[in-house]
């Protein structure tokens, strides 16, 4: 596949991933963390704020892989 197309696909998928992840993570926080302590909120947002990096890392590696 042409590297330019791979980067375009990765960019679109990454934007969608971040948008969907933010919506789902916020909805989960609102529904489950309403009566929890501030420390639970802090831990949730620290972990949740970094967790999206894992699929993004694999997507970026795929986009940057050299063609065969």
Range of the domain at 36: 3-64
**pLDDT higher than threshold 80 for residue 8:** yes
pTM above 0.85, yes or no: no
Q: Determine contact, residues 33/40, Cβ cutoff 8 Å.
A: yes
Give residue 60's pLDDT band: very low, low, confident or very high (50, 70, 90): very high
Q: How many CB atoms lie within 10 A of CB 14?
A: 16
State the pLDDT at residue 67: 75
Q: How many domains does the chain have?
A: 1
pLDDT digits (tens, 9 = 90+) for 13-23: 999 999 999 99
State the pLDDT at residue 7: 92
């Amino acid at each position: 596949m042409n590297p330019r197309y791979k980067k375009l696909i990765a960019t679109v998928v990454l934007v969608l991933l971040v948008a969907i992840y933010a919506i789902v993570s916020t909805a989960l926080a609102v529904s489950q963390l309403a009566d929890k302590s501030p420390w639970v909120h802090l831990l949730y947002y620290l972990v949740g704020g970094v967790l999206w990096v894992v699929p993004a890392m694999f997507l970026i590696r795929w986009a940057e892989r050299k063609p065969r």
